[in-house]
Structure 1
């Protein structure tokens, strides 16, 4: 027993000594390196326990204690969290070039996606070339205007579906309807084909794949905190990502093979992104091969389907909780449209209340609450603190959107705050509201995404009255979140369209 007691005391002494040594070393390194303040880390695991199931909310609470520039130690990884528009402008504007790197999670390295991804590549010549291709082939004003007819057709299909549900008094899963619409909008732009029909199994399958990728990429991963575990993949996150990516790549391969066969037998060319990418690949095969093409399509497909549908579902949920506000949008739509066939893309600028609703949705429910992680390419001094080279930098736009020093009644859904002469935009110039990011790493799909969310929401509202299922009261609607790279509603929004006059909603 004496020997056993001695071993216990020796082990206890070692733990105390190791903990003390770790904390003293951490304090010394913070003083020497002038790191931003933050909670003191537990030996070995650091601040992992502070992350929680909803990191954006956990970081927001911690920032109230340690400030808008906060340092965390997640295992062996140093992370700095930015939680205010002022500091965000320093990171994404003043020192944009120094923070243009990407912190690449282990999950993103599945199938070497990080080596070909426009999202995760460093700001290199390869990255600039991919952005140039996207702008010229898909996101330029000329290309967007030329593809209006295709989007008009997809939105009319949404209106027809909602009308059928209204006649049959069928409950509409707003989440599924929004996803199917955004899925077909982006698949038409990329491939000139529809990937799903409303209430189809194919839509549900693709939604499961997309959310599977988003959920696992955004999940806290021990392999990121302790790089020695990367080969083991203890949580199976990378294996799941690989599985989902392979399923999407199989779909892309089928579409590409079919297009190549058509190109070989017909002189008629499609006016979509795939056609432009195939032309570019043939001319520049050494720098843009089929594998690069698939990885680019993966990025565009995920971003184009997920963020738009999530934003529209959150907007609908907030509006159904505020019947007076949904009435305001409907009245504005009728006033602006008048006797025209429907809403045009050029009408968006003349629909300030609709724009305000989208902005307020972005403020309360940014689709990517921590944006895509940045990385410091050099030591950078901000507000007297040093952000060391290779540090992961997270911009908590969710926290900025709910900061009571920036917004009155920050927890309330009040689109009216965005009306008036002092206009706040979402295109990366006003750091109070940057759902698409800002600076050189701003989302390249912003021009298309901006059009999609406004017209999709208009299609759900114009000439439609909505009723919650089972007599639920608006104030009882569950607004719980589930976290991934994007933040979805924990429970899909379901409601009944109770009145629907056939009205053509165009782009």
Structure 2
């Protein structure tokens, strides 16, 4: 599909076949990013990952993500943090149930609990305990509030100046002004975070005697890599202090909203489909039992929970369109035997919402929530989210694929498993499954327009909810 959006040509891929052409066949030609206010202002002049143009710096940053920040070893090193936040999630719901007057059950706003857990999780991994707000730190709480405001600004406004450049200087919506104000506030926090990490790094190195330093979070990793880069004169691109801040900003923005939104959609679908909820509950009881919590180590033995996560991402991708690509050169794309020229500078977008509901890729009731399609013997058995199957692209594919895909899948699957295992869920009195609104709100992410509210009742021994996880 070809559109004219403002001053730019825009090409939209809305099928698995055309997505393959964009993200694989012509991946390099479309691997650039268009200029954006978020990239220029919030990412310190395109020093992050998401909005950075293709080139030496982006290749360096991407390599750091693949080999250091989101490698299996690094992701596993934060497994305890994720386990603690999953327990905190169910403990929060349990306390609300215990405090209510519903005989142990309570009406729960699911988003509030899930969003808090996912934000704490990514902040603890990225910047450390203090800045997650876990321990009532005033700095941590203030930092979290500015993040919430940033999500609201970037999600609520599409900057007209990015599509009609000659109007950009007017800043008609006040978008640039608001972004600059928030970015200045964030920068003060990030400077304080980096200063504290560098001071701790010096103290620990001195105490060790041999200069050894134990990494605590991703800021530590990036500061160490930046220091190594400064000593390597042959490096094609350098990681600077601003680069550290920009990458951390992208990690926090990408790792908070997406997981929370997906878990809320998954619980919405399970409540609308009692048979699917029963199947997920039965699998957890059979594989894990009721005398301990499911952990990430159990996930490979929970194919139905995995199928619920995939089916949710198919029907409710966090972003209906992948982050726009930018044509680096005139490129001829052949579709159904005909060649179409995509001009240099065109915006190239992939409509993952449409692809996930395309009957050509999903012939078996594409609009229905059916996790079993992903199970052995199902029509989509073997289809994964790793970028090799173009009918399911919640994380994209190719050079620009989300580098944290593995981490995100763990968080979503563990979150759904914890909520389903820990509670018997039902809709509020008088509400039927078909009454649950599934209307979407489009912004920074595609969240539910009406937050999910449901009745939760604990179904495991009480001590499991209050025990401190190892």
TM-score category of the 2 structures, normalised to the smaller one: 0.7 to 0.9
- Provide the residue aligned with 1:402 in structure 2: 357
- Structure 1 residue 484 corresponds to structure 2 residue 443: yes
**1:85 equivalenced with 2:23 (yes/no):** no
Alpha-carbon distance in structure 1 between the residues aligned to 2:315 and 2:306 = 14
Distance between the aligned counterparts of 1:304 and 1:321, measured in 2?
Answer: 27
- With over 3 angstroms needed to count, the CA separation of the structure-2 counterparts of 1:354 and 1:167, relative to structure 1, is same
* Alpha-carbon distance between aligned partners in 1 of 2:74 and 2:323, rounded to the nearest angstrom: 26
CA distance 1:214–1:454, shift in 2 (3 Å):
farther
1:418-465 C-alpha deviation (Å, 9 max, x unpaired): 222432101100000010000011001111111111101111110311
| Cα distance in 2, alignment partners of residues 184 and 174 from structure 1 | 16
1:264 corresponds to 2:193: no
Q: Structure 1 residues 375, 459: CA separation in 2 closer, same or farther (over 3 Å shift)?
A: same
Unaligned runs of 5+ in 2: 101-105, 208-212, 231-236
- Does the CA-based 8 Å contact 2:43-2:249 persist in structure 1? no
* Structure 2 counterpart of 1:187, from 123, 131, 134: 123
In 1: Cα distance, 2:277 partner to 2:40 partner: 43
* SS of residue paired to 1:175: helix
1:299 to 250, 268, 272: 250
Q: Give CA-to-partner distance per residue, 1:393-434, whole Å, 9 cap, x none.
A: 010000111112322322221112222243210110000001
Structure 2 counterpart of 1:284, from 229, 245, 248: 229
Instruction: Quote the Cα distance in structure 1 between the aligned partners of 2:129 and 2:142.
Output: 14
Deviation at 1:341? 3.2
Shift of 1:116: 0.7
1: distance between equivalents of 2:37 and 2:125? 30
- Does the Cα contact within 8 Å between 2:38 and 2:179 map onto a contact in 1? yes
The structure that has the greater radius of gyration is 1
TM-score, normalised by the number of residues in structure 1: 0.80
Query: Does residue 333 of structure 1 match 2:284?
Result: yes
Aligned position for 2:77: 146
* Deviation readout 1:187-220 (Å, 9 max, x if unpaired): 121123162459997697356324224414xx44
Residue 369 (structure 2) pairs with residue 413 (structure 1):
yes
Residues 375 and 466 (structure 1 numbering): CA distance in 2 closer, same or farther, change over 3 Å?
Answer: same
CA distance in 2 between counterparts of 1:479 and 1:379 reads 40
- Give unpaired runs (5+ residues) of structure 1: 1-69
Distance 1:447 1:112, change over 3 A: closer
Aligned CA-pair RMSD? 2.5
CA distance in 1, matches of 2:76, 2:152: 33
Tell me what 2:402 maps to. Answer: 443
Distance in 2 of aligned mates of 1:249 and 1:365: 33
How much does 1:151 deviate? 1.5
Match of 1:378 in 2: 329
User: 2:151 — aligned with what?
Assistant: 211
Question: Does structure 2 conserve the Cα–Cα contact (< 8 Å) formed by 1:370 and 1:398?
Answer: yes
> Do the aligned partners of residues 418 and 488 (structure 1) sit closer, same or farther apart at CA in structure 2, a change above 3 Å counting?
same
Provide the rounded CA distance (Å) in 1 between the counterparts of 2:193 and 2:330.
45
TM-score, normalization: structure 2?
0.86
1:309 CA drift (Å) = 0.7
1:37-436 aligned at under 5 Å gives the runs 70-111=1-42, 113-169=44-100, 170-193=106-129, 195-196=132-133, 205=145, 208-216=148-156, 219-266=157-204, 267=207, 269-285=214-230, 287-338=238-289, 341-382=292-333, 383=335, 384-407=339-362, 408-421=364-377, 422-436=381-395
- Hey, what's the Cα distance between the residues in 2 that align with 1:72 and 1:443? 26
- Describe the shift of the 1:213–1:114 C-alpha distance in structure 2 as closer, same or farther (beyond 3 A): farther
How far is the alpha carbon of 1:366 from its aligned partner? 0.3
Say if 1:234 and 1:215 are closer, same or farther in 2 by CA, change over 3 A. same
Number of paired residues? 436
Query: Which residue number in structure 1 is paired with residue 454 of structure 2?
Result: 495
Moved more, 161-170 or 439-448: 161-170
